[in-house]
Amino acid sequence: MPGPTPFRVLVFSRTTGFRHDSIADAIATVTDLGAANGYVAEATEDAAAFTTANLARFAVVVFASTTGDPLDDAAQAAFEAWLAGGGNWVGIHAAADTEYAWSAYATLLGAYFKVHPAIQQATVRIEVANHPATAGLPAAWVRTDEWYDFQTNPRATAGMTVLATVDESTYTGGTMGADHPLVWAHTTAAGGRAIYTAMGHTTDSYADPLFRQHLAGAIRWAAGR
């Protein structure tokens, strides 16, 4: 019997601030993971793709290290309407360094980027081991990345579930203390799903089978699959 119809994922990576070298790797990875995870991805850096008609084609929108203010007013309005209809979102790394003045995005994201130390090895602590985005990952996951500090702790937001933290005792320069969320998820007011991972700065991340597994699980969860 044929399998379920693939769902569609829009990968958005426009930047108006810092641009990560790993964006191409992020797009390629999200696209490549589709065949094994039940979806087909399309990538764009064009804010004009955010229209009511076009967004209706997608089950999930992924922000892949967007920065600055990548969406104009019309695109923001269309995206808000799509979210209000139950749209699902995945944010990767610099998605937290995006749209600081847009309240609907702040609610979707959960916490904005503040600062980061140098790229270095650290230990990620998995807090919810049975979530699709973290299932099968080492409980103490040692990896190298750029470890974001955030302006607020997303755990303080009602309905937000922290899935993983980074252990500040395993690297230098962290400023959030003993509770430093790194991956979190929630169900939106409209019943959609939103998940953010702070990892994914380095190009090497996207060749790491565990990180690829993490992204695939996040996308599947966002789509309700």
Backbone angles phi, psi at 156, to 5 degrees: -75, -10
Say which residues have a Cβ less than 8 Å from residue 33's Cβ, sequence separation at least 6.
212, 215, 216, 219
44's enclosing H/E stretch is strand 39-44
State the Cα–Cα distance between residues 52 and 183, nearest whole angstrom: 29
As a residue count, the chain comes to 225
Residue at 173 is within a domain: yes
Task: Give the model confidence (pLDDT) of 79-136 as tens digits.
Answer: 999 999 999 999 999 999 999 999 999 999 999 999 999 999 999 999 999 999 999 9
State the average pLDDT over residues 9-14: 98
Question: Does a structural domain hold residue 1?
Answer: no
Whether 94 is covered by a domain: the verdict is yes
Q: Are 11 and 44 in contact (CB under 8 A)?
A: yes
Q: Could you tell me the CATH number of the domain that includes residue 99?
A: 3.40.50.880
> Can you give the pLDDT at residue 97?
98
Question: Tokens standing for 188?
Answer: 């939106």
Q: Are strands 149-150 and 140-145 parallel, antiparallel or unpaired?
A: unpaired
Query: Has residue 159 been placed in a domain?
Result: yes
Whether 99 is covered by a domain: the verdict is: yes
In a domain, 2, yes or no: no
Does residue 93 fall inside a structural domain? yes
> Would you state the torsion angle of the CA atoms of residues 6, 92, 11, 37, taken in this order, to the nearest 10 degrees?
-20
Per residue in 189-216, pLDDT (tens digit) is 999 999 999 999 999 999 999 999 999 9
Q: How many domains does the chain have?
A: 1
Q: What is the DSSP letter of 76?
A: H
- Whether the per-residue pLDDT at 3 is higher than 80: the answer is no
Residue range 27-70, pLDDT digits in tens: 999 999 999 999 999 999 999 999 999 999 999 999 999 999 99
- The answer to whether residue 200 sits within a structural domain is yes
For residue 106, give both structure tokens: 């702040």
Give the pair of three-digit tokens for residue 144. 């190298």
Q: What is the pLDDT of residue 4?
A: 81
Per-residue model confidence (pLDDT) at position 1: 62
pLDDT of residue 2: 63
If we measure between CA atoms, which residue out of 172, 191, 57 comes closest to residue 117?
A: 172
pLDDT in tens, 144-193: 999 999 999 999 998 999 999 999 999 999 999 999 999 999 999 999 99
Cα 41 to Cα 34: distance, rounded to the nearest angstrom: 7
Write out the residue range of the structural domain in which residue 101 sits: 7-222
